[in-house]
Structures are given as C-alpha cells and as structure tokens.
Copies of this chain bind each other. A is one copy, B any other.
Amino acid sequence: MTPEEFRAAGHALIDWIADHRTRVPDLPVMSQVTPGQVAARLAPHAPAQPQPFDDVLADLDQVVVPGVTQTQHPAFFGWFPSNATLSSVLGDIASSGVAALGITWQSAPALTEVEEVVTDWLRELTGLSPAWKGAIQDTASSACLVAMLAARERVTGYGETRGGLQAEPAPLVVYTSPQAHSSVPKAVLLAGFGADNLRFVDVDPVTYAMRPQALRAAMEADVAAGRRPTAVVVAIGTTGSTAMDPLAELAPIAAEFGAWVHVDAAMAGSAMLLPECRHLFDGVEGADSLSWNPHKWMGTILDCALLYVRDVEHLVRVMSTNPSYLRSAVDGEVTQYKDWGIPLGRRFRALKLWFQLRLDGVDAIRARLRRDLANAGWLAGQVAAEPGWRLVAPLTLQTVCLRHEPAGLVAPDGTVLDAEALDRHTLAWVNAVNASGQAFLSASTLDGRWMVRVSVGAEATERADVARLWDLIRRTAESSTS
C-alpha cells in the first residue's frame, strides 16, 4: 500500500471512528452475539488477492462492532472503567504512524526518552517521590509478575545466576489478600513459588482489607517453620469491592521480615492524581514496586500499565541481556527499557500518555475523576436509603457494591433466609439488565454470596446516566421473580 492509498483509506477510517464514537450511546452495551457468530462471518482462508478497503471498513460495522461490549458507552458500569479518551487514541494512532522499533535506546531514542519523561510527569502528578522510576508495561498482570521475579531474586541473592529457584534450600513465601486480583496468584505460581507457598492473609469482615496482625502472624509462623517471607502484594483497591489494604501498617511489617512490597493499584492508582485521595496510599514510600493502569479510569487507551520501582539497578540486574548485536557506544548513558521487563521489543506507548496529558490537560482529567467519585457517592446514598437494597461493602472510590435483598429472602435484621435463592435472584436480575443492552454491570462474589458491582467512571457517564441506571436496576430487580 502506498502512502497515497493510505491517505485515502486513513481519512475514511478517521471518519468511521468519529462516527462510531458518536453512535456508541445508541448501541447495546453488552455485545449480543453468541459464541461462534463472529467467526462464522469471516472468510475461512486468507485472500490471495487484495480486497477493497471499503469491504474491510464495512466489516468493521457489520461484523466487528456488534461483537464488542461497548466500554465507552455512558451506561457501561462493568468490571472497571476502560476508558479510551480520543486524545489518547490520537496518540495511539501517532504511535502506529511513527512505526518505531523499541528494542534499545539506539533503535528509537525518542521512544525511550518520551517514556522516561511522561512516566516522571505521572510520578509527580500522583505525589510519588523522585525515588521512583517508571516504565510502561502491557498490563498490571505482567507488572506483578515482574515484581514477583524481582522479589524472588532479591531474597535469593540472584539465584537465577546459579541453580535458580530449584536450588533454594528453604521455601520462599508470598503473602496477599484473598481479595487480590486473580493476576496476583497467577504471577506467584508462574514465578515458581508454588501454591503451597502463597498465603492468603485474613481480611477485615467489614472493610475486606488485609489485617496487619494476620500478616505478621503468618510471617512469624513461616519463619518459625524455616520458610523465607519473600514478598507481600498489597491491594490498593481490590477487584471485588475496591477494598484498601492498609499499606502504612503493612509495609513496615514486611520490612521487618525483609520482604518485597508490591502495591497493586491497577484500577485505583488513578485516584493518586487527586490529592484528597492520596491518604489511601499512605506508606507507599515504604514499598518496592507499584503498578497502576492509566488504561483504566484515567482513560489512556489499552494497553498502558505503569510499573514504578525504587531500585532500578536491581530490576536491571534481574532482567538484563546484553547480546553483541544490540550493543552501542552510548549503552552506559541511557535507559534500556528492554532490561526493565520481559519483552525485548516495545511499541511507542508513551505517545498515548503524552498526547492525552497535553491535549486534555491535567485539570480536566482530575475534574472528571472527581465527577465520578461524586456520582458513585450519590448512587451509594440512594442504595443505602432504599428499603430492600444494601451496600455490601464500604464505598472507597467509585465502585458501588450492592445487593437487592427482597423481604422473602433476607430478614429485616439482614439475616439471609435462603442463600441459594438470593444468589439466583441476584444473578437473574443482573443478567437481565446486561441482556437488555441498556446497561452493563458485573456480578462478583463477596463472602461467598453474589453481589453486584456498579463501577462508575466511563468517560461519558454523567449523573443522569447513573440515575437512569438506578431506575433500571430497581425496576429489573424488584420485578424479577426468579
């Protein structure tokens, strides 16, 4: 394809994107396709000859869009905000257009240095001290794995250069909350620690936050048994209920035992942009690593997760490679991001952060986050005041955890009369809401019971959208007979 053919097709595609964004509010929020329906509409073999761009563009409308749950919809309240601000989309397009190869500093000095600068902008904006250095990862899952590998190598004195984990004399143990994201146990298992050496530390029955005394007790028991505490993964914002593990109390305990502290703030990290929310991160300067995802609430289009570490030299020592074909005369003077994570090659993802921050400005981003906090607070107030409805976890940021508890299933004092029927009722009404296409919510379990998470924070979501949702879920749940 020539640049002129690209120009023509590209203009059509930009118009398609702008039109698509305009009509997103009219689309069903949850994709209505059934398994295999998209695949059945695709050709069984790749074409030998070129096809017209118009055909491909038409397939975006007819095949792709119906097969996408619309996270940019104002009634998207599922999982977590997965915002793709159009300013960041422009940055993503610029990244594709520049087509840089990020393998070493030399292959694209700008890719490295823009990433250094924008991660430092965000460090400053989130109130972290200059002791932290940041890099962009694809996801918080990968960031957590990198942190677990760094922790493993720190406690073993770089055992990877000798017999590896299999040569370690005493088991290494990792601690986290049972409410932690599924990527945390996954990272622990992939790093080789083994499920037997992963401790799910007790949480508070009301806040669902990790109990410091329980952490201490678990670590003491392991030490007494000859095991070595290696890492504590602290959730600032658990996935289920956005519970806040008390980092200021947990980090000093971990430090006593020499354990690495990784803070997983994938969703909630955006709140650090607001000075009034930073108390949730008290103690963060005692952590070793922190990850949060601008690609969630802040609104940088996926994928853009940040990993900050305090000791870059340690990370580099664990992750570095230095083959002859990648050496250059400036190696000692520059950052080589290939040595800060798993992949060698990287896209120019810093551009989407750079574009978003410059085109939107920080004030507007902060105003939007505050709007979402207020909207979530409004909804929580409605739920708390409504008979038959209950907030099942404290509201810490923008995720309202609720349940409809009809009189026949739950007694006035909150005693569950028929747990299975209550679960069936919860799943029935949330599935009905989702199937309607009018809004999308996630069900999740807490204390073994299904509840519903209303994650407020889509860029397009205003108070009126939250009010409409509240009407919709009341009507749906209260008329549900299952």
Contact = CB atoms under 8 A, between A and B. Distances in A.
A189 to B, nearest CB: 4
B161 A195 contact: yes
A321 B185 contact: yes
Interface string A45-75: 1111111010110001001111111011000
A243 to B, nearest CB: 14
A208 interface: no
State how many copies of this chain the complex holds: 2
A479 interface: no
Interface stretch (A15-23, A384-392, A465-473): A15-23
Contact of A166 (B21, B34, B60, B193): B193
A111 B63 CA distance: 11
A160 B185 CA distance: 10
A114 B42 contact: yes
Interface string A78-103: 01001011110110111011111111
A68 B110 contact: yes
A330 B30 CA distance: 14
A217 to B, nearest CB: 22
Given A106-B31, A196-B162, A86 B5 contact: yes
Given A162-B194, A325-B443, A42 B113 contact: yes
Contact of A45 (B6, B85, B124, B301): B124
A33 interface: yes
A325 B399 CA distance: 13
Contacts of A345: 138-139, 141, 295, 302-303
Contact of A1 (B53, B124, B324, B360): B360
Given A35-B334, A93-B93, A166 B172 contact: yes
B94 A89 contact: no
Interface in A2-50: 2-7, 9-11, 13-22, 30-31, 33-39, 42, 45-50
Contacts of A453: 325
A20 B196 contact: no
B47 A21 contact: no
Interface stretch (A115-123, A218-226, A277-285, A308-316): A115-123
Given A166-B192, A303-B345, 14 more contacts: A1-B87, A1-B90, A6-B18, A10-B93, A35-B334, A39-B116, A46-B124, A55-B358, A68-B109, A71-B99, A164-B192, A164-B193, A165-B192, A166-B194
B165 A166 contact: yes
26 contacts: A3-B21, A7-B14, A10-B17, A13-B90, A17-B93, A35-B330, A45-B124, A50-B361, A56-B355, A67-B113, A68-B110, A79-B103, A138-B138, A138-B343, A141-B344, A142-B342, A145-B342, A159-B194, A163-B194, A166-B166, A166-B171, A166-B192, A183-B344, A186-B319, A191-B192, A324-B444
